[in-house]
Structures are given as C-alpha cells and as structure tokens.
C-alpha cells in the first residue's frame, strides 16, 4: 500500500513539474509572440508530445513566418501553412505508407495567422502518421 501511495505522489509531482515546465516555456515564448503580433506577422508556438499523455518527452518551438525562422524547416512549414490560410486541419495529407505501430504523439499549435487566432491539438497513432498529415509544420526533429 505504501508503494501505491508513493508512486501516486511521484506521478502527481511529475505532472506538477510538467505543468510548471510548460508554463515556463509559454512564458518564455510570450515576448517573442507578442513582438510578432505587434509587427503583424504570422506565428505559431508548436509542441509535440510523445507518449500517451503521461510522458515528459515534449518538444516545442516558436515558428515565425515573416521572415521564416525558429524552426528547422521554417520556410517549408510557413509555405505549407500559407497555402491553407494557417489552418493546420486543412493541410493536404501526403501519400505515404505508415507502419501500423501504436506509439502516440500529440501535436499542438497556438498563435495567429493573418490576424486570426489559431488553436490546434490532435493525437496521432505515431510520428509517421503525424508527419503525413501535417507536413513540415510539426517536423521539430530535423
């Protein structure tokens, strides 16, 4: 019984730490996004979390599109988003064969495009499916 209580306490502490880390990341990105908004530029704060929601493997970046920067494939991601008016849901899926492996990833985007707020969150069965569905936008690893 002590083990269960201890494990639960550890999980709660880890979640609290993740929440604090996410808040810190968003706070750190706020001045840059505020500057982009003031300049009228398009920007999205992108995050990808691997796992089933209990994972701490989260990566994020601020994608700025005037000029493209802050992302390994910023020019490509900005061009893809520009073609669909900043709507991640409207990106055309790539014709790719992905393995039927369950290794969930959650993609999140928050920011503005053409002066309109953008909010996006989707969980995919694996990284291949995410990449096929979102193109270069959430390609944060390379």
Q: What is the C-alpha separation between 30 and 110, in angstroms, rounded? A: 11
* CA of residue 3 relative to chain centroid, distance: 35
Query: Per the structure block, which two tokens stand in for 71?
Result: 């992302």
Res 91: pLDDT: 94
Q: What is the C-alpha separation between 54 and 14, in angstroms, rounded? A: 9
Q: Are 59 and 141 in contact (CB under 8 A)?
A: yes
Res 101: pLDDT: 94
Band the pLDDT of 26: cuts 50, 70, 90: very low
Q: Name the percent of the chain lying above pLDDT 70.
A: 68
Q: What is the mean pLDDT of residues 80-107?
A: 93
> What kind of fold does domain 2-134 have according to CATH?
Subtilisin Inhibitor (3.30.350)
Neighbour-count burial of 18, counting CB atoms closer than 10 A to its CB (0-12 exposed, 13-18 middle, 19+ buried): middle
Domain locations in the chain as residue ranges: 2-134
Res 137: pLDDT: 95
Q: What is the mean pLDDT of residues 85-98?
A: 93
Res 100: pLDDT: 93
Q: What is the C-alpha separation between 34 and 128, in angstroms, rounded? A: 33
Res 9: pLDDT: 45
């Amino acid at each position: 019984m002590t083990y269960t209580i201890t494990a639960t306490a550890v999980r709660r502490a880890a979640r609290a730490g993740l929440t604090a880390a996410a808040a810190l990341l968003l706070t750190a990105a706020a001045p840059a996004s505020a500057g982009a908004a003031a300049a009228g530029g398009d920007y999205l704060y992108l995050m990808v979390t691997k796992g089933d929601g209990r994972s701490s493997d989260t990566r994020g970046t601020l994608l700025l599109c005037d000029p493209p920067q802050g992302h390994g494939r910023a020019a490509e991601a900005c061009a893809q988003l520009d073609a669909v008016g900043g709507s991640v849901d409207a990106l055309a899926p790539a014709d790719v064969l992905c393995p039927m492996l369950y290794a969930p990833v959650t993609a999140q985007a928050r920011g503005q495009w053409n002066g309109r707020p953008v909010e996006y969150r989707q969980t995919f069965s694996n990284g291949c499916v995410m990449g096929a569905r979102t193109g270069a936008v959430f390609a944060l690893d390379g």
